[in-house]
Structure 1
Amino acid sequence: MSLLTPVQHSWAQGAAPPSSSPRTDLAQGHGAIQLAGGDYAVVGVVMVIALAALAFGYVLIKEVLSAGQGTSKMQDIARGVQEGASAYLNRQFRTLAIFAVAVFLVLFALPAETIGERIGRSIFFLFGAAFSAAIGYLGMWLSTRANVRVAAAAREETGQGREKAMRVAFRTGGVVGMMTVGLGLFGASLVVLVYAGGAPRVLEGFGFGAALLAMFMRVGGGIFTKAADVGADLVGKVEQNIPEDDPRNAATIADNVGDNVGDCAGMAADLFESYAVTLVASLILGTAAFGLHGLLFPLIVPAIGVITAVIGVYITKARSGESALTAINRSFYISAGISAVLCAIAAMLYLPSTFAELTGVDETIRGTEGSPALIALVAVIIGILLAVVILKLTGYFTATEHRPVQDVGKSALTGAATVILTGLSVGFESAVYTALVIAAAVLGAFLLSGSLAVALFAVALAGCGLLTTVGVIVAMDTFGPVSDNAQGIAEMSGDVEGDGAQILTELDAVGNTTKAITKGIAIATAVLAATALFGSYTDAISAALADLGGKLSTEEFFVYAPNVLVGVIIGASVVFLFSGLAINAVSRAAGAVVYEVRRQFRDKPGIMDGSERPEYGRVVDICTRDSLRELATPGLLAVLAPIAVGFGLGVGALAGYLGGAIAVGTLMAIFLANSGGAWDNSKKLVEDGYHGGKGSEAHAATVIGDTVGDPFKDTAGPAINPLLKVMNLVSVLIAPAVVYFVVSDSAVHQTTRVVIAVVSVAVIVAAVVISKRRSTAIAESESPDKAVNGAPS
């Protein structure tokens, strides 16, 4: 039986193409756009702003490193964390370099309009990957040096310890934020400067490089950090009844290393790829909807975000008696408000008031009613408001001062089971509200125009509006692990007591909330970028069909078509499989950590009285080995699943696949992030003295909840963000090839198409089977019986 749909059969047999599609306008005119003198000036100003962001980041680095580092014992602990984090990332990058070279060659083989665009796409793939790696590495490098400085600042007896510790932690995040927006904006503007109308196709490679590396860093770093965290909690706090960051626990150094390679490096790379991919989608759709104006305005909006990020970082200061979270949120609101005002001014000054004034667009666009300036303005403001609403919504479900977390903490009085159930309910409920808010933003932007091309560009511009807050968002996120590490160093060294210890406990709890908030906003950026890329996918299909003399039929995308519905189901299933693989990987690695820490307590009784030193390096090695070993399977799944669906079932099924993945991925990511955040802060609530305090049965119950939530919120949940964008970008990149093979009536092409699909499925199945064959806890030689009998693990 043929795999072609009836519509595809008509193309293959040479029949007249279907009636004109509303997407045909997107397939025309991109390469014809050229920059004039004034346009080069606009791009030049954007590049200068991007470089200024990098310069400001350097100024902040100098400020952070000028702070005191505390006692020699604190510095020794920090040095161990620095060495472990650097060793892990260096090994990870060596592993990923091989993968990057292979993808570079594949991208070069894919078709493009010109050889220059093909070369540029491949080269800028490496730029995107390198920028993502650089931001992640810088985030790790600075965070592992800022943590000890935050701990030292909290010791100051002048009454300024709280303010200084908070400032050092937040400005550390500000450095990473400046690098994120600076490199993202510089890369995109450089491509526009060189390739003009061909920039969107070249930027596909830039965004793909950033997204692919971010996904690997998110998965690998997430497995590392949560394997160490779960292992440390289960043996240290539950079995040995010692504090979380007690130096007698062999997993403590690995836990602190993990905070940096997972939360700092991983999240920084994640938000950078969100930045890059949103720009990619905006430029692709913008050139179709607004022509030259649509090519440049998506650069102007995030350039404004750089200015407001600088303001947001500098004005973050807690007033006397004020919560650190309140101060951080206030800075976010102020910077978001400034962004809205400046973007409104930019839209009114730069964009024309009627579509007839646009150049380089299809005549159907020029005849559209409405004002491009007003549509762009409202779309950008929708994106900014979305960030504000998600900040409030996520904060409500994950902060200790609100009822959801308090309910989870109270449920600990009846045991771990009720903690798990209450946390799950918080995650499920919050996912619904957040998803509806994101959906409302997407729909609101989409309804701004009756033209499908303009409406999709409005969705992308909403994503650009969200980008104006990214600099502050990255600062908020990095604030969390830096504060967490600072408290760990303080506890392990024993050199921070009294008010200083209380300051660090407060900042750690605030950091948990800011991390949860930034995960929520990162999910929103992923959905907006993925939705915009969805439009870019159909744009690529239209362009490919136009080259072959055909036009896209809306029948290809009807959800009730069986092939499309099957694609939806497969896309939803991939999100579940990806999440399961990530959580199971944490389970396996954490099991190995548990047995290693138990072995050390058993074989070295002097650890408990302080006469023997734990072997911290063995746990770091276990986490490094297992996290790197687990990278291949989710990476192959993300890249090959769209290829299998596209070549196997056609363009309509692949569209359904993307739709199913976006819908389920949104809900799954929010559920995992918020349930994990609620469990984490419920533990902090009990540790602050509620419901029996530390050492109580309620505390033990919340530790179990937090242990379950760790891989939810820091591994599987955040990794879904780059997963969605990797799959969308793969679909955009392969779209011309899929169309060519599907439409062709050549038996050779049809056979090739089936072979590609079958091989892709076979590789995925083999990777999953190999992954599942690994022990879910520990190698056979390290079985529980042997461990109990005294065999070394």
Structure 2
Amino acid sequence: MHSIHPLFWCVPVGSVVALAFAWYFFRQMMAEDEGTETMRKIAAHVRAGAYAYLRQQYKVVGIVFIVITLVFMFLAYGLKLQNPWVPFAFLTGGFFSGLAGFFGMKTATYASARAANAAKDSLDHGLRVAFRSGAVMGLVVVGLGLLDISIWFLVLSHFYPIGEAEGHNLIIITTTMLTFGMGASLQALFARVGGGIFTKAADVGADLVGKVEAGIPEDDPRNPATIADNVGDNVGDVAGMGADLYESYCGSILATASLGAAAFLGAGTDVQMKAVIAPMLIGAFGTLLSILGIFSVRVQKGADSKALLGALGKGINVSSALIIVFSALVLYFLKIPNWYGIWGAIVVGLITGIVIGRATEYYTSQAYRPTQRIAEQAKTGPATVIIAGMGEGMLSVAYPVLAVCVGTTLAYLLATGFTFDSDTMSQGLYGIGIAAVGMLSTLGITLATDAYGPIADNAGGNAEMSGLDPEVRRRTDMLDSLGNTTAATGKGFAIGSAALTALALLASYIEELKIGINRVMAQLGEFTFPDKTVVHSANEVTNLSLFDMMNVFEVNLMNPKVIIGLFLGCMMAFLFCGLTMNAVGRAASQMVDEVRRQFKEIPGILESKAEPDYARCVTISTFAAQKEMLFPALTAVIVPVLVGIVFGVPGVLGLLGGALAGGFALAVFMANSGGAWDNAKKYIEEGHHGGKGSEAHKASVIGDTVGDPFKDTSGPSLNILIKLMSMVSIVVAGVTVSFSLL
């Protein structure tokens, strides 16, 4: 314990401060008036539906986690192929990820009616309530993430003393901690896929039958699916998103810490320790600075959409500018070798995230030409709307991909001293990992701007169903429209960080292979690599660089196993999207049938003389989501294991590379197309091209309906898929190594 650097204690302190401010913002929101009796009743319906869904989901996910934990226990205690702490780390990752989503959803379900009621007073009041409620999610995610990291680092450093084993213990500690990243990723995938299926089944059913067929407004209380739609916003876009970004945040920090332990192995334990805690400290200071940014978000009376967007942008920019300064101070005091180059990599990560966010904003906001062009195509029908949306979405992939390519190159070169020498590859990959940490360092406020979106959406729904003054609905629509853009921007950050983190995880996989080889040698006395190189001691394996490891495992493009893996990885991205899109389609069909049945069999609904059966629609979405989410999620776990068994290390690295390249581009395309279709509809609803009820509006509703599963189910799930497959590969690296002997 004495070897832990004193600055490390800033990490648990940052966690406590984040959770304390999350509680403060939650209590501040709860002190607001929830509005009229009708508003409270609607909010209670949504809250009950959301809790019922999460209870059912956690039962299913709990069974899956127990089964996988038993498998890990067999591998750890029976076959001796894993660290004995792996099963427990896996469980805590899933638990904290689910907890982050639950707290965020609880806050959102209490905040929506209060935000609607605050909007009666002013736009600024509505923004403050919605945004600071979203900040609860942001701060809970980073607070719980830093808490989980702190606890496991302290526990493992007690059992694997840092000052012993010439620095090898730090590698064991950090690679073991990556296991809780797998638990977080798996829980996040279930949350994103299940929540996405739930919300989009309800949304599509409500739109197709309510707005298109019956001609009633969005969020009209006569629509039986409208409560399920509002419930879905909370379980998908809040609980799912919270679990998603929890695993992104922890994954980037853990992968970088693992690379730091490996990259500075020969530089002494003290230097190695500093490289390990550096990403944790950046996350901790970023959390504190995010709180400052949150307090700076406010607008004046009479503000328009651009002023709202500017207010949120100001908060993010304040936090980002300050983290640039504080990260330099942290690295300077740690005195890591080439600290200024590593600091440059952090700045590159932040800039890359901002570029991706701005590109996303440009392609999804109705203030800019791409979305306006899609709206113009609505004048000629839904087919041209869909064609235009897909075209703009494909074009939108270019800027994020170029940003990630440039950012990756610069981060690598800055960390190595501007060389591509194979001897400095580990330091370069550490630079890429810490760039991902830089991109997510201000997640506390970035996620607040994302979580604010569904809260504003639900506030608008509550205002509509409660019959509030049209001016209130106009204000909530402004908040909602901005929320669509900020949500798309948040997805861009998550996808961009996934790309950088996945590269770092590839290197962590190689380090875990070394530990797996040492376990095999402990039983056999030697290990033979695929290229016939034989090693007899742990030192021989440890001294192999990343470049050497790639050579002895024959990882190159002339090896057909690598090519096969690339194809399988790219296929996985499309297979996963196909499974989740079809799942939404099947669930939405059930919802459409149910809404049509109620309109037909319950007389008086459309005349507001009878209340629809809201609970039945919530039940349909709940059971459809539970049934449909299992196969896609389990596929992401099983495929890396099978590829490792059949094609070995070359196949796994090909699989992860193909999933990264194909999944990243596909995720950007789907998220941006969906966001642009949604805002094209809102652009028309503002009065352009005929406004609400026009033929152009009906065509845009069809486009929005197609885009719903794009942006809220399949697209955002892909960044989890990329990292989950990497995490699974790391955790079962010992199994892959053992099968390579056959």
Tell me if TM exceeds 0.5: yes
Corresponding position: 1:139 with 2:104: yes
Matching residue's letter, 1:610:
S
TM-score, length basis structure 2: 0.90
Corresponding position: 1:294 with 2:275: yes
Partner of 2:342: 376
Give matches, 1:681-760, under 5 Å.
Answer: 681-742=679-740, 744=741, 750=742
Partner of 2:33: 68
Match for residue 154 of structure 2 among 178, 189, 193: 193
Corresponding position: 1:466 with 2:466: no
Query: How many angstroms apart in 1 are the aligned matches of 2:299 and 2:500?
Result: 32
Partner of 2:599: 601
Corresponding position: 1:578 with 2:576: yes
Kindly indicate whether the alpha-carbon contact (under 8 Å) linking 2:43 and 2:109 is maintained by their aligned counterparts in 1.
yes
Classify the secondary structure of the residue corresponding to 1:556: coil
Give matches, 1:154-303, under 5 Å.
Answer: 154-156=119-121, 161-196=122-157, 197=170, 198-290=172-264, 291-303=272-284
Matching residue's letter, 2:199:
T
The Cα offsets for residues 141-198 of structure 1, whole Å up to 9 and x where unpaired, read as 1101100000001112xxxx11111001000111111111111111112222222323
1:583 offset after TM fit, Å? 0.3
Matching residue's letter, 2:226:
T
Kindly indicate whether the alpha-carbon contact (under 8 Å) linking 2:10 and 2:281 is maintained by their aligned counterparts in 1.
no
1:320 offset after TM fit, Å? 4.1
Matching residue's letter, 1:580:
G
1:45 offset after TM fit, Å? 2.5
Query: How many angstroms apart in 2 are the aligned matches of 1:40 and 1:341?
Result: 21
Query: How many angstroms apart in 2 are the aligned matches of 1:258 and 1:78?
Result: 13
Kindly indicate whether the alpha-carbon contact (under 8 Å) linking 2:296 and 2:314 is maintained by their aligned counterparts in 1.
no
The Cα offsets for residues 567-619 of structure 1, whole Å up to 9 and x where unpaired, read as 10011001100000000000000000000000111112310111111001111
TM-score, length basis structure 1: 0.85
Query: Structure 1's 624 and 113: CA in aligned 2 closer, same or farther, altered over 3 A?
Result: closer
Query: How many angstroms apart in 2 are the aligned matches of 1:112 and 1:293?
Result: 32
Query: Structure 1's 49 and 115: CA in aligned 2 closer, same or farther, altered over 3 A?
Result: farther
Matching residue's letter, 2:136:
V
Question: What is the aligned-residue identity percentage?
Answer: 42
Matching residue's letter, 1:100:
F
Kindly indicate whether the alpha-carbon contact (under 8 Å) linking 1:683 and 1:699 is maintained by their aligned counterparts in 2.
yes
The Cα offsets for residues 70-106 of structure 1, whole Å up to 9 and x where unpaired, read as 1000110010000000000011001111111111122
Query: How many angstroms apart in 2 are the aligned matches of 1:249 and 1:741?
Result: 56
1:668 offset after TM fit, Å? 0.6
Partner of 1:54: 19
1:349 offset after TM fit, Å? 1.5
1:545 offset after TM fit, Å? 3.8
Give matches, 1:507-526, under 5 Å.
Answer: 507-526=479-498
Query: How many angstroms apart in 2 are the aligned matches of 1:733 and 1:205?
Result: 6
1:46 offset after TM fit, Å? 1.5
The Cα offsets for residues 637-665 of structure 1, whole Å up to 9 and x where unpaired, read as 10011111111011111100100000000
1:735 offset after TM fit, Å? 1.4
Unaligned segments of structure 2, at least 5 residues? 158-169, 265-271, 522-526, 528-533, 536-540, 542-548
Corresponding position: 1:124 with 2:89: yes
Query: How many angstroms apart in 2 are the aligned matches of 1:140 and 1:324?
Result: 24
Partner of 1:644: 642
Matching residue's letter, 2:383:
A
1:737 offset after TM fit, Å? 1.8
Match for residue 297 of structure 2 among 309, 313, 316: 316
Query: Structure 1's 298 and 116: CA in aligned 2 closer, same or farther, altered over 3 A?
Result: farther
Corresponding position: 1:498 with 2:470: yes
Classify the secondary structure of the residue corresponding to 1:118: coil
Query: How many angstroms apart in 1 are the aligned matches of 2:730 and 2:77?
Result: 12
Query: Structure 1's 654 and 611: CA in aligned 2 closer, same or farther, altered over 3 A?
Result: same
Matching residue's letter, 1:472:
I
Matching residue's letter, 2:277:
L
The Cα offsets for residues 268-300 of structure 1, whole Å up to 9 and x where unpaired, read as 110000011112211110101131111111111
Query: How many angstroms apart in 2 are the aligned matches of 1:404 and 1:201?
Result: 44
Query: Structure 1's 383 and 112: CA in aligned 2 closer, same or farther, altered over 3 A?
Result: farther
Deviation >6 Å, runs of 4+: 112-117
Corresponding position: 1:536 with 2:534: no
Query: How many angstroms apart in 2 are the aligned matches of 1:348 and 1:45?
Result: 16
1:202 offset after TM fit, Å? 2.3
1:54 offset after TM fit, Å? 0.6
The Cα offsets for residues 345-393 of structure 1, whole Å up to 9 and x where unpaired, read as 11112124x4xxxxxxxxxxxxxxxx2x122201111111112111211
Matching residue's letter, 2:672:
N
Matching residue's letter, 1:452:
M
Kindly indicate whether the alpha-carbon contact (under 8 Å) linking 2:76 and 2:82 is maintained by their aligned counterparts in 1.
no
The Cα offsets for residues 611-631 of structure 1, whole Å up to 9 and x where unpaired, read as 111001111000001000012
Corresponding position: 1:420 with 2:404: no
Matching residue's letter, 1:639:
V
Query: How many angstroms apart in 1 are the aligned matches of 2:79 and 2:263?
Result: 22
1:40 offset after TM fit, Å? 4.8
Query: How many angstroms apart in 2 are the aligned matches of 1:321 and 1:143?
Result: 26
Query: How many angstroms apart in 2 are the aligned matches of 1:172 and 1:237?
Result: 30
Unaligned segments of structure 1, at least 5 residues? 1-34, 355-370, 745-749, 751-793
1:239 offset after TM fit, Å? 0.2
Query: How many angstroms apart in 2 are the aligned matches of 1:621 and 1:63?
Result: 33
Kindly indicate whether the alpha-carbon contact (under 8 Å) linking 1:564 and 1:656 is maintained by their aligned counterparts in 2.
yes
Partner of 1:568: 566
Query: Structure 1's 282 and 112: CA in aligned 2 closer, same or farther, altered over 3 A?
Result: farther
1:682 offset after TM fit, Å? 0.2
Partner of 2:162: none
The Cα offsets for residues 672-707 of structure 1, whole Å up to 9 and x where unpaired, read as 000000000000000010000000000000000000
Classify the secondary structure of the residue corresponding to 1:218: helix
Query: How many angstroms apart in 1 are the aligned matches of 2:228 and 2:586?
Result: 16
Matching residue's letter, 2:258:
I
Query: How many angstroms apart in 2 are the aligned matches of 1:338 and 1:545?
Result: 43
Partner of 1:4: none
Corresponding position: 1:527 with 2:508: no
Match for residue 399 of structure 1 among 348, 365, 369: 365
Query: How many angstroms apart in 1 are the aligned matches of 2:78 and 2:64?
Result: 26
1:115 offset after TM fit, Å? 8.4
Partner of 1:656: 654
Match for residue 320 of structure 2 among 332, 336, 341: 336
Matching residue's letter, 1:124:
A
